[in-house]
Structure 1
Amino acid sequence: MDRKMDVVQFLEFVKKGLDIRALHQISNYIQKVFVIFLLIPSFIWDTVLYLILVHKFYFRKTSDNHEERVAKIQEQVRRWRVEGKGRKMCTARPSWKSVSPQSIGYKNSMYRIEVDLDRVLSIDRVNHVVHVEPSVCIGYLNKFLIREGYTLPIVPELDNLTIGGLVMGGGIETTSHKYGLVHHTALEYEMVTADGEVIICDAENNNADVFFTVPFSYGTLGLLTAVKLKIIPYKPYIKITYRPTYTTHEAMEVMVQESMKGTGNDSVEGIMYNINEAVIMTGEFVEENQVELSKVNNLGRWYKPWFYHHVKTFLEKGKTVEYVPTLHFHQRHNKPCFWLTKLWAPWASHPLARFLLGWAFPFNYQLLKWVKELIMGNENLADVFITQDFIIPLQKLKGGVELSAELTDIWPIWMVPAKLHYDERFGETYGMKPRSGNIMYVDLGVYGVAENKNFQGHEATLRAFEKWTMDNGGYQALYAETYMSKEEYTKMFTPENYEAVRDRLPLCKEGFPHVYQKICRKGRNKGIID
């Protein structure tokens, strides 16, 4: 063997001599033993990115302005018309920065546009609006806003989710029963179209058809360059009521009751630990003078147990009320990545590990994915691993839980209600259309390794989920894997207005792929863009 062979070449050499099962075992070994060496880099990475965001807002240079950065994007788009050679456009953001568990193979065959858009542009304190560029990450933006006395109505927990990804791909949280999805809080989009022009989109005066079509478009209408979002005053605590339930019927009954309350609940969330036992949580944001100090739980401190472990204790304790600092609440699932960190580091939940290393969590998902792609490439090694969200009518939740138990036996599972807003002008609800009069849906999050002894495999299982979801008037999240055909995708999302907008926008079909080509398994894994 050539002594000059680098690490990547060596791993490629080894990989060719191993079968897929042995490679899977090596992958698990790397994750569970060597993943510890990503803790400090993760901590440094996240700290530096937040400090950079703050610095760019408070110490911006006069030469560093949004218009100049957008102009550079326009120049690249215009060059595409000369240099593109029939290729479609996408951003040059690397695959390992994507939240999708798959490698984004289609980027390899496309004309990539460099996008440097990660600033907070302004805060309008009169109208409660923040103006941001799309590459700003939700966790950093929320921490930044809290410094200013505000927060976002909807704060998905995982810090690395970008604003652009959340408005164009869907973002949900426990306040979604009040506010809908993240894009429902958007007031305006700025976009560079395929002819190199900048357009403004809003609900009333400018390109309203585009505004209502941006959600779930995944960058296939243009290159998003800025977003205006609603913000709300920050309250420092949330009063959480934990309600344990002991049958599936009881859990569903409490979920429906608390989700449909007209007032009183700012947050609604459920964690189901097995087919019978669940804890349903409701929360109300409060001021400091409303807090009962004896019931405060600073659950975000580094030595505290993972949130889902803490919640499980209420199955024995019974109904309980706690007051939690709001930022701790926003990031309660961030450090354990819901319950997936145990797959990478099963030792991390031990009290000693929490005390010694808890401060260094969470693992930065992007770094983890980068290591995986560097070593393993695009191969799907974990046939038993499922990560998907199914957004189904609230009344169908019991059936969804029972189906998940039958197909995967993955526990816990996450349950979050979401209100979908219907707009009569376009016949759609910002990318989703309520069916059969339902406007309250629920996100069923199935994340983990299938424990079912009769597990039918990754494809068969997700196909069964997809069919059930479609038959019951639901949707599946498009960030994760889908085996749907284009016809099935069209049936699920009924994108008539999407097609009309692509017809209207100049060069859109020539410049950008159809959204199905970006979300389908074939396009993501193999980079095939028809």
Structure 2
Amino acid sequence: MERHKQAVRLVSASVRTLFERGEPYRIAHGSTNSTRPPAQKAGARTVDISALRHVLSVDKASRRALVEPNVPMDRLVEHTLPLGLVPPVVMEFPGITAGGGFAGTAGESSSFRHGYFDESVCGVEMVLPDGEVVFARPGDGEEKGAELFRGAAGALGTLGVTTLLELQLIEAKRFVRTTYRRTSSVAEAVRVVQEECDAAKGNDYVDGILFSKNHGVVVSGKMTDEGPGDGESIHTFSHAWDPWFYLHVRELTKALPSSASASSSSASSSTQGIVTEYIPLAEYLFRYDRGGFWVGEAAFDYFRPLVPFTRFFRWFLDDFLHTRMLYRALHGSGESARFVVQDVGMPYPSVEPFVDYVAENLDIWPLWLCPLKTPAGPSFHPHLRSSPATSTATAASDGAKNAATGGMMLNIGVWGWGHKDPAAFVKANRDLEHRVSALGGMKWLYAHTYYDEPEFWALYGNRPWYEALRRKYKATSLPSVYDKVKVHVAPRSGWKPWLKSLWPVGGLWGIWKSIQSRDYLLHRNATWKWKGGAVGEGEEGKKKVS
């Protein structure tokens, strides 16, 4: 703990010096899971907190963990699982950090039960913009830190620097009994997601994949210490020869009928459109890491026809196809400037028209579905803002009501190639923003954001509250949330962007930058990976966990 205190004193001193000079700054973490152009941060003063990357303690009795902000999810899980504990919400990408989950928006497949990641945070240590070190808890009372805690959650570090988090943990089990329900329409997929979120189902995890309008799969999971029974199997997704999760799900379900007529008594019957298998817990939590959901397939699209999208090449190039390496390559190559990466939270009635819009205008598949228990406002997290198709005046009234009650939404992940022409790319993203707003939805702010300032604050609707906090905690010299998320559209200039735009120069440069990071070693040396065998089928699989 003394090492931590010394590191915080150094951060505090740096922040205080900049405050006294009246100089704004940004926070350097050492990694990023944002797709915003990194060039926008060039030249900015930074406060380096990359050394704050340790799990300080995990207490089994209280089910609490003290972690520094740059602790990634895989390192956190490696510390908690040996004690039979796991965070309630674990981001599916191993490199996403605890601090990033608190300061950003992190909703995952357990969020229908537990809400966003910050709702499992019991308290945060922060260095305020004048260098003062405070500890804020949600239950401390408004004047003692509750308002600061609530304001800092999702505010992208614009109220201060998070230096320590106290996390609530829950009991972990060995496996996740995973059920795949085949759907044959978007409306059916939405209905099945809602069914699987019902408390009577007892699910710990629920998400879904839309491969097309008529091929969807809703994935639900229950933690269990029991191994597979007859006709069931264990599967892993972290080893180089394992299948990518979404490809496994697609192959497993493509020939199945809809599960609409399936009853709970026939849940193990694939003839009813339902398949069940067992996945070790950590393998389940990070099942989308290899291939970055399905975005890794785009790397093969880029290098086609040099590198075909086959199982052999997915095995051979496995080091480059985990999310940490994919992010490095995406930014290094410059291809983030034409790759659509948008997550939106939609009211359930708006999901089908939004999917229709994406299919007709962007032709991006698959799409991710993730049900979310959203907070009452004010919040920069997506939350129920207004009913779809309401007038502006009515939307404001509805938004106030929804802010008071919170509610459920469906996160739709839209990730795929956009237009090569920069102007057309921006227009497509702007059109998507307009459509999301018209349908009563809200965007995640980690991605490309093009709102003008009045439009942004009209949508997020909490500017007076937020600006009051910035004044109270002396944060007005820091970039605001809008300053941090707004993409500044400017023509590319210089020889580097021109050179990287030439195929395959940009892609090769991205690969080189990812190799330089040495992030591939983090997955190679991960201790969370299942050691009981790779993929077990039937009797062989049961032997591997006996």
TM range (shorter): 0.7 to 0.9
User: Could you tell me the TM-score, scaled by structure 2's length?
Assistant: 0.76
CA contact (8 A) 1:191 1:223 kept: yes
Contact 1:278/1:315, CA 8 A, preserved across alignment: no
Whether the aligned pair in 2 keeps the contact of 1:348 and 1:354 (CA below 8 Å) is no
Partners of 2:19 and 2:423 lie apart in 1 by: 47
Q: Which residue number corresponds to residue 74 of structure 1?
A: 12
The structure-2 alpha-carbon separation of the partners of 1:294 and 1:456, relative to structure 1 and needing over 3 Å to count, comes to farther
Question: 1:428 maps to which residue?
Answer: 378
Superposed counterparts of 1:47-196, under 5 Å: 65-82=3-20, 84=21, 86-93=22-29, 97-115=31-49, 116-196=51-131
What secondary structure sits across from 2:61 in the alignment?
coil
Q: Which residue of 2 aligns with 1:400?
A: 354
What is the aligned partner in structure 1 of residue 247 from structure 2? Answer: 309
Alignment of 1:297 with 2:297, yes or no, is: no
CA apart distance, 1:473 = 2.5
2:481 aligned residue? 515
Higher relative CO (CA 8 A, sep ≥ 6), structure 1 or 2?
1
SS of the residue corresponding to residue 190 of structure 1 reads: strand
C-alpha distance after superposition, 1:144-192 (max 9, x if no partner): 2212221111111111111111111111111110001111111101100
Q: Which amino acid aligns with 1:89?
A: Y
Q: 2:187 & 2:202 partners in 1: Cα distance?
A: 23
Q: Classify the secondary structure of the residue corresponding to 1:283.
A: strand
Residue pair 2:154, 2:379 contacting (<8 A) in 1 also = no
Match of 2:160? Answer: 222
Identity of aligned residues (%): 27
Q: Deviations over 1:269-321 (max 9, x none)?
A: 110011221111111111125x3264122222432211111111213143211
Q: Which runs of 5+ in 1 are unaligned?
A: 1-61
For 2:457, the equivalent position in structure 1 comes to 490
Q: Paired residue for 1:415, among 358, 369, 376?
A: 369
Equivalent residue pairs, number: 446
Query: Which SS does the other structure have where 1:213 is aligned?
Result: helix
What residue number does 2:294 align with? 339
Distance 1:407 1:87 in 2: 43
Per the normalisation by structure 1, the TM-score is: 0.78
| Mapped contact 1:256–1:394 kept (Cα < 8 A) | no
Counterpart of 2:310? 350
Contact preservation (8 Å) 2:93, 2:323:
no
For residues 326 and 4 of structure 2, the distance between their equivalents in structure 1, rounded to whole angstroms, comes to: 31
State how far apart, in whole Å, the 2-side matches of 1:134 and 1:349 are. 37
**Distance change (3 Å), C-alpha of 1:99 and 1:335:** same
Question: Is the CA contact 2:292–2:326 (under 8 Å) kept in the aligned structure 1?
Answer: no
Aligned 8 A contact 1:87 1:110 in 2: no
Residue type matched to 1:298 in 2? H
The separation in 1 between residues aligned to 2:190 and 2:341, in whole angstroms, is 22
What is the RMSD of the two structures over their aligned residues, measured on CA atoms?
A: 2.7
Decide whether the 8 Å contact of 2:58 with 2:79 is kept in 1: no
Cα distance, 1:353 vs structure 2: 3.3
CA offset at residue 262 of structure 1?
4.5
Question: What is the CA distance between 1:102 and its match in structure 2?
Answer: 2.9
Corresponding residue for residue 435 of structure 2: 468
Q: In 2 relative to 1, CA 444–238 (structure 1 residues): closer, same or farther, beyond 3 Å?
A: same
Inter-partner Cα distance in structure 1 for 2:132 and 2:336: 43
Shift of the 410–517 alpha-carbon distance from structure 1 to 2, 3 Å rule, reads same
- The Cα of 1:345 is off from its aligned counterpart by 3.5
CA shift digits 1:233-268 (9 cap, x unpaired): 111111111111112222222122223445412111
CA shift, 1:130, in A, is 1.0
User: Superposition pairs for residues 231-246 of structure 1, below 5 Å?
Assistant: 231-246=169-184
Over 3 Å counting, the alpha-carbon distance change for 1:159 and 1:469 in structure 2 is: same
Report the alpha carbon displacement of residue 456 of structure 1 after superposing the two structures with TM: 8.8
Which sections of structure 2, spanning at least 5 residues, go unmatched? 257-272, 302-306, 386-397, 493-546
SS at match of 2:207: strand
* Alpha-carbon distance in 1 for matches of 2:489, 2:4: 32
Deviation at 1:518, TM superposition (A): 0.4
**Conservation of the 8 A alpha-carbon contact between 2:105 and 2:381:** no
Query: Which residue is equivalent to 1:439?
Result: 407
Deviations 1:35-55 (A, max 9, x none): xxxxxxxxxxxxxxxxxxxxx
Question: 2 CA distance for matches of 1:455 and 1:396?
Answer: 29
Are the equivalent residues in 2 in contact too, given 1:268–1:280 (CA < 8 A)?
yes
Cα distance in 1 between the residues matched to 2:168 and 2:490:
32
Secondary structure of 1:105's partner? Answer: helix
* CA contact 2:382–2:441 (8 Å) conserved in 1: no
User: Cα–Cα, structure 1 residues 343 and 454, in superposed 2: closer, same or farther, change >3 Å?
Assistant: closer
In the alignment, is the contact (CA less than 8 A) between 2:155 and 2:380 conserved in 1?
no
Matched, 1:478 2:417: no
Decide whether aligned partners of structure 1 residues 212 and 430 sit closer, same or farther in structure 2, where only a CA change above 3 A counts: farther
**Mapping of residues 269-308 of structure 1, within 5 Å:** 269-288=207-226, 291-292=228-229, 294-300=231-237, 301-308=239-246
Counterpart-to-counterpart distance in 2, 1:363 and 1:373: 15
